[in-house]
Chains A and B, each alone.
Chain A
Amino acid sequence: MTSCFDVIDEINLKKDGSGEFLLTVNMSKSKTKLESIMLLESFRDQKIPSKEEVEKFIDDLALFLRQSEGLSSVKKTIDFEEFIFTIGFDFESVENINSAIEALTLKNAKNPKSFDLRYSYDKSTKQFSRYFTPNTVDQANFEKLNEEDKNMFNEAIYISISRFESMILECSNKRAKVSKSGNAVMLRSSATNLLREKNNITNTVQLK
C-alpha cells in the first residue's frame, strides 16, 4: 500500500536574471492506487478531491500566475491517466517569483503557504540562492498523521534542479550534486526529511 510521488522544481536561469520555472508533481508510480482512491469521497479521514476540483485548483493557480507581474507564458498540464501535473512560466527576475509566492500566501490566508521558498540572484556577484524552510503548520499537521500515513511521505521525493548559462564554482549545500556539464545542480530529499528539517535544500551557488 505504500504510495509514492515525486515533486520536482526546475529553474533555468539566464545571465541577465530572467529565466523559466517548472513545477512537476509526478504520481505515476501510484496511479493504480490513486485511481481507486479517487473513487472514494474520503480516505483515512482525509477528503479526496474530485478530478474537477484538482483541475480547478490548477486552473486558478495558472490564472493567478498569468496576472502576476513579471511572469509570462504560463503553461499547465493535467494528466489523469499518468497522474502527472505541471505548471510553469517564464520570469523577468527571480524577485517576480518571490512576489507571486508572497501574494499567493496572502490570498490563501486560511491555508498558509506550504513552505517558505525564496530565490535571490545578484548579477554583479553572480550569486544565486534558493532558500527553503518548511512552515510550522505543515510540520505540525505532518506529525499529527499516523505512522502509516507518515510512511507514505518517506517514499515521496522532492527534487530541485537549477540550470545556469555559466559554470558553477561552488555550492554552499554539501548535499548538492553538480552535473557532469558543470552548469546545473540538483538536490534531492524525501518529503519526510524535508518536513522534519533533517535535510536542507537551501543552497547558494557561486557562478563563474
Chain B
Amino acid sequence: MKNYILIGFLLLSFTAHSQGVELNIPSNASMVFEINSPALIKAAPYEELEKSDFGKEMIFKLSKLFQQNVKSFNEIGILTSESSYIFLDQSTDQPTLVFLFPIKDKDLVERAIIFNRYNIEEADGYHFSSGPGGQSFYWNDKLLTIVQHLNKNSQVVPTQNYLSKATKSISSNPSYKKQKDENATFSFWIGDMSSALPKLTGALGNMSNELNDKMMSSLYEGYESLSMKMYLNKNESRLATEMSFNESVSSAYRNISKQKYNAEFFEYVDLKNCLGYFSSNINVKSLLTEYPAILNNQLEALPESNKYKSEIDLGMVLFSTLLDEEAVGDIIKGDMLFVLSDISEKEVEYTDYEYDSTYQRKEVTKTKIERVPDFIYMASLKDGKLSKATISYLLNKQLIEKQGSYYKIVPNKSVPVDLFMMIKNDILFIGTSVDRFRAISAGKYKAQVPSKFKDHINDNQVAFYAGVSKAEASLSVSDFPNKKRFAQFKNLFKDSPDVFFTAEKFKKNSAKGSVVIKTPKGHTSGLTYLLHLIEELK
C-alpha cells in the first residue's frame, strides 16, 4: 500500500484544468481526502521542499523508483497544479478505496509498474495492471487510478476504473459542496459517519460482520458529516474540524454549550505573561439532563443481542433517578480556567546519610533546587451548604489548614509545591502562589488580560493556549534528560509560535474546532515550519 501511495503522490502533474478529476468521484462516495497541490506548492516552493529532509528522501525514493538519477521535482513534473484524491466508494457490497492521481507522464507510471514486476495490459484507451495485494492500477495519458477492495479476503476483482467522469459526481453532493474550500491544502470529508465509519473500521480490521456493523453504528448514532481541513499558510498552520449531528443530538449539545462564561475569572489572572492556559465551559445542569438522553439514543440502536444491554439500561435509569441535576447544576456551573503562570525554582528537602568514624550511618536532611510549576485554577462553585461542609470535613481531617481567608492544602512530603485553596465570590481557587492568594483575598490583584485571550476563552467552549516561546525561555537544562535534548528544544522553539486550540460553542447542528500554530519568523510558511519541526524532532 505504502509503495503505490508514494508512486501516486509523486506523480501529480502540471496538467492544469479546473475541477479536474474531482468529477470522476461518484456523488455517493462516503469519504473523500484531497491533496490540493496548488496550495501545497504555494506553501512551499520546490526548492525549499527539495532542501528539506522530507524532500531529499522523496528524491532518493523517486530515483530508485524510476531507475534514473532524479535531481529535482520539477524535472519529473511532480507536485502540481491539480488536486489528487483518495475516496471510499460504498455503493457496492465491497467497500472500495480509490486513489486518483493526475499525471504528467505516463511513461513514468509504466516504468514504475514494470520496476515492481507487474504485467501491463492494454484496454480501450487505457492500460491496467494488477498488484499482488488485490489492487488494480489503471492509467491513461492524464490520470492514474488505484482501486482496492477494503476487505482483503475479497476475491472480487474491481470492475470500475474511475478514469472517466462519473454520471453524477461528488461536486453535486450538497454536504460535500458546502464544506469544500479551495484554500485548504489537505481536506478530509465523511458524508455520514454513522454509516461510513463502522464499515471502514470493520473492513480495515477485517472484522466486518452484520452484528459488529450494528454495534459500531449505534456508537455513531446521530453523527452526520465530518470535515477536516489543513491550511498551511504564510502566517500560520491551521487544522479546522467540523462535525454535524442530527437534530436530537444537536439540540442536546446546544443546551450543554449554552452558558455564559464567568467573566470574574479574568480579574484574577495575568494572561499577558502566562506560559499557557486551558479553559472550558460546559453547562453541567444540561449535561446531566441531556447526556442520559444521548446515551439512550445510542443504546436504543444497540442490537438486542448485546449481552450487557439490560444492565446498561438499568444503570441509565438509576443514574437519572438518583441524581438531582438541578441541585448539582446549582452548585457546579461547569466553567473553569487553568493558567500556568510560570515555572519557578523551589528548595526541596530529601533524606541522605553521613558516616562517622566507624562508618555508622546518620540520617541527615539535605536540600536541592527543583523546578516547579506556578499555576492557578478557578471554577464557578456556589458557596453554600455543601462547600462549607466539605471545607469543615477537610479541616477536621487535617487535610487543609486555615491561613487567614484562604487554606493551605497539607502536602504529601513528596509534593514539592505549596498548594492553597479558597472560595470567594462563588469561585473555587486552587493555586501555588501565596502572594497571589493574599492579593486576591484582599482585592488587590492586578490582572492583565489582552483582549485576544479574553475573546478566545469567552467565546468558545474549550480554549487552550501555549506560549511556546515564553515557555522556552523559562525552562532550564535541569528540566531535560540531558544537555543535548535541552539544546535541541531551545533551538526548536526559539522565536517559536503560539499554539491555540479551540472548540467553538455548538451552533445549529455542528461542532467546530481548530488548532492553530503561528509560523515563526524566518520560515516561509506553515508547511516549511512543520517540515523543520519534524526534522528537528528526529
Interface residues of A (CB under 8 A from B): 1-2, 6, 8, 10, 26, 28-29, 31-32, 34-35, 80-84, 147-148, 151, 161, 163, 179-181, 183-186
B residues within 8 A CB of A28? 350-352
Interface majority SS (helix, strand, loop, mixed), chain A: mixed
B residues within 8 A CB of A184? 358-359
Interface residues of B (CB under 8 A from A): 348, 350-353, 355, 357-361, 368, 370, 412-416, 478-482, 485
A residues within 8 A CB of B350? 28-29, 31, 82
Tell me whether A81 and B413 are in contact in the complex, defined as CB-CB below 8 angstroms, given that A26-B352, A148-B481, A151-B481 are known contacts.
yes
Apart from A8-B361, A32-B414, A148-B485, what 20 extra A-B contacts exist at CB < 8 Å?
A1-B478, A1-B480, A6-B353, A10-B361, A26-B352, A28-B352, A31-B413, A32-B348, A32-B415, A35-B412, A35-B414, A81-B414, A82-B351, A148-B481, A161-B359, A180-B358, A181-B357, A185-B359, A186-B355, A186-B359
| Contact between chains at A29 and B352 (CB < 8 Å) | yes
| Contact between chains at B412 and A26 (CB < 8 Å) | no
Of A29, A31, A80, most buried by chain B (CB within 10 Å of CB) is A31
| Contact between chains at A2 and B414 (CB < 8 Å) | no
CB distance from B45 to the nearest CB of A (A): 37
B residues within 8 A CB of A179? 355, 357-359
Q: Which of B351, B414, B481 contacts A34 (CB 8 A)?
A: B414
Q: Which of A34, A35, A84, A163 contacts B359 (CB 8 A)?
A: A163
Tell me whether A83 and B355 are in contact in the complex, defined as CB-CB below 8 angstroms, given that A28-B350, A151-B482 are known contacts.
no
CB distance from A11 to the nearest CB of B (A): 11
| Contact between chains at B358 and A163 (CB < 8 Å) | yes
| Contact between chains at B351 and A84 (CB < 8 Å) | yes
| Contact between chains at B353 and A26 (CB < 8 Å) | yes
CB distance from B457 to the nearest CB of A (A): 28
A80 to B358, CA, bound (A): 29
CB distance from B350 to the nearest CB of A (A): 4
CB distance from A98 to the nearest CB of B (A): 23
A28 to B370, CA, bound (A): 13
CB distance from A130 to the nearest CB of B (A): 15
Q: 7 shortest A-B CB distances, which residue pairs?
A: A184-B359, A180-B357, A35-B414, A81-B413, A148-B481, A28-B351, A28-B350
CB distance from A50 to the nearest CB of B (A): 15
CB distance from B25 to the nearest CB of A (A): 43
A51 to B485, CA, bound (A): 31
CB distance from B175 to the nearest CB of A (A): 41
A130 to B347, CA, bound (A): 39
Q: Which of B357, B414, B415, B485 contacts A83 (CB 8 A)?
A: B414
CB distance from B416 to the nearest CB of A (A): 5
CB distance from A177 to the nearest CB of B (A): 9
Q: List 19 A-B contacts (CB under 8 A).
A: A1-B478, A1-B481, A8-B361, A26-B352, A29-B350, A29-B368, A31-B414, A32-B370, A32-B414, A32-B415, A34-B414, A35-B415, A81-B414, A82-B351, A82-B413, A148-B481, A163-B360, A179-B358, A180-B358
